[in-house]
Amino acid sequence: MASLLWLLSLLVFSTLSYSSYANGVETHRGFHSLALDSLQPSDTCSSIPKAFDGNRLPIVHRHGPCSPVANRQKINHKQILRHDIARVNSLNRKHSMLKKEDLNGVTIPDRKGYPVNTMDYIVTVGYGTPAKNFSVIFDTGSDISWIQCKPCADGDCYPQHDQLFDPSQSSTYANIPCMSEDCALIGGICDESYNCIYSVDYGDGSSTTGLLAKETLTLTPTNVLNKFEFGCGNLNDGSFGTAAGLIGLGRNRVSLASQASAVYGDAFSYCLPKFNNATGFLTIGAQQQYPGVEFTPMLTDPNNPSFYFVELVGISVGGRNLSIRPAVFKTPGTIMDSGTVLTYLPPVAYLALRHRFRSLMRNYTRAPPFEALDTCYDFRGEDKISIPDVKLHFGGGATLDVISSGTVLSLSPSQTCLAFRPTVSSGQLSIIGNTQQRSTEVVYDLGRRMIGFGPRSCS
């Protein structure tokens, strides 16, 4: 009996001591061990954003030290989380709406956007000939791309980091007629000169209105998209910070992803940086191969064809699959969204994840909840902490391996919280937010209707 107990203890020890080390994070089976200060925000950019080769653009966090449009004030986590809820509510309202029809039974295009306060990531692109660079937010939940333009009367445009785009200084700018199919697609109206007027009202009260136009879009010095349809905004207001506008990467025909497909291939991918003081990338176009990327089918809701739906089938925490029936995630489904901060799960799934996470974190001091984040810890006095790994499992066998800084949200050394939340009810969308997507190349293969996850650093 003594020898049997010894063998069992040896087996347990060897299991717990199994580890590897990569990218500054020590990985024990079922856990990621990391220095506490690596979770805290930094005031120094760890890598200077530079142009990549080909059709790859640098991504920086909107509020981080690498951002050209960063507000140097302290990040207000309470405000960010409240804005996140506003975006989630807006996504769910959009999903629950039936197609709008007028009295003649003709579908009326929906010109409602989603709250922009939580759109965290910035890319820099060039508009016009000669090209002028503008730092813009990118969002998979939006279709229309736009920037602020001259003329813009006092108070009609918000302050931005870059100079306003001046169409009169570009040799390739052209307004789109209001009687065109392109104008009808976005629900545009005519001005007095029969040019197409676009308008988008976002769920947080932000808005943009202006001329729908075509222009040369410079992605990188060697990659140019001619006759790119975009909004030249003359009346803009809201929570865009000092970004010049927005790049839409939704599934609608007017999005950048769709417009670029004929030139670069029907796909795009991004890798959001692990920390806010680092850089990631956005790649426009398809690659011949995606080494190490696991794919899951990209699903479509006919009533909301712009959403990127996936089939979430399970979750594992600390190396153990949670007892959650896949049917829990079926209705109304799960979407990928770059503009939502946290990940939102059905109540049953969230409670199972929380229970397992708390059990594995029982040796750490609990901290009070923060807003609706109900599982928080006080790590003061700890040099190194071990975070249970979280894996999201999808149909087709794909797995999204969430990194430590995507599993928890560090508000301060005395308060670090689980970065997941339950939906208000089981009838709401599950949403995979940008925090959980960090340090993973997320591939949107529109041609094959697949979404892939490639665990890699954003180098």
Per DSSP, the three-state class of 314 is strand
Pairing of strands 25-28, 31-35: antiparallel
In terms of C-beta density within 10 A (0-12 exposed, 13-18 middle, 19 or more buried), how is residue 138 classed? Answer: buried
Concatenate the DSSP letters of all residues of 266-313 into one string: SEEEEE--SSTTSEEEEEES--S--TT-EEEE-EEETTEEEEEEE-EE
For residues 170 and 150, what is the distance between their CA atoms, to the nearest angstrom? 12
Q: Is the peptide bond between 332 and the residue preceding it cis, with omega within 30 degrees of 0? A: yes
To the nearest 10°, the Cα dihedral for 141, 142, 147, 149? Answer: -140
Backbone φ and ψ of 302, nearest 5°: -55, -30
429 three-class SS? coil
Residue 165 gets which letter from DSSP?
B
Report cis status (omega within 30 of 0) of the bond before 151. Answer: yes
How many other C-beta atoms are found inside a 10 Å radius of the C-beta of residue 40?
Answer: 13
d(CA 252, CA 268): 14
Annotated catalytic residue, options 139, 162, 204, 445: 139
Q: Which residues contact 58 (CB under 8 A, 6 or more apart)?
A: 49, 50, 51, 52, 123, 124, 279, 280, 281, 282
Amino acid identity for residue 124 in this structure: T
SS3 label, residue 110: coil
| Alpha-carbon torsion (280, 281, 282, 285), positive or negative | negative
The Cβ of residue 168 has, within 10 Å, a number of other Cβ atoms equal to 8
- Spatial separation of the C-alpha atoms in residues 417 and 293, rounded to whole Å: 29
Between strands 420-422 and 245-248, the pairing is unpaired
**What φ, ψ does residue 197 adopt, rounded to 5°?**
-105, 125
Where are the strands (E) in 166-244, listed by range? 174-175, 189-190, 196-201, 207-220, 223-237
Q: Which of 84, 120, 204, 337 is catalytic?
A: 337
DSSP structure string for 370-404? BTTB--EEE-TT-SEEEEE-EEEEETTS-EEEE-H
337 is catalytic: yes
Q: Is 139 in the active site?
A: yes
Looking at the annotation, which residues are catalytic?
139, 337
